[in-house]
Amino acid sequence: MVKSQSISQQQSLLLVIDIQGRLAPAIDHARDIVHSADRLLNVASELQIPCIFTEQYPQGLGTTVEQLSSHLPNATLFEKIHFSAHRETDFANHLKQQERPQIVLIGTESHVCVLQTALDLLAAGYQVFIVEDAVGSRNPSDKGLALARLAAAGAVVVSSEMVIFEWLERAGTDSFRHISKTYIR
**DSSP state string for the chain:** -PPP-S--TTTEEEEEE--BTTTGGGSTTHHHHHHHHHHHHHHHHHTT--EEEEEESHHHH-SB-HHHHTTGGGSEEEEESSSSGGGSHHHHHHHHHHT--EEEEEEE-IIIIIHHHHHHHHHTT-EEEEEEEEEE-SSHHHHHHHHHHHHHHT-EEE-HHHHHHHHH-SSSSHHHHHHHHHH--
Marked catalytic residue, from 38, 51, 113, 133: 113
pLDDT digits (tens, 9 = 90+) for 109-127: 999 999 999 999 999 999 9
Q: What is the pTM of this model?
A: 0.95
Q: How confident is the model over 90-101, as pLDDT tens digits?
A: 999 999 999 999
51 labelled catalytic: no
User: What pLDDT shows up at residue 1?
Assistant: 40
181 among known catalytic residues: no
Which homologous superfamily is 13-100+107-124+133-183 in? Isochorismatase-like (3.40.50.850)
Q: What is the pLDDT of residue 4?
A: 61
Q: Name the catalytic one among 80, 120, 133, 143.
A: 80
Domain boundaries, the chain: 13-100+107-124+133-183
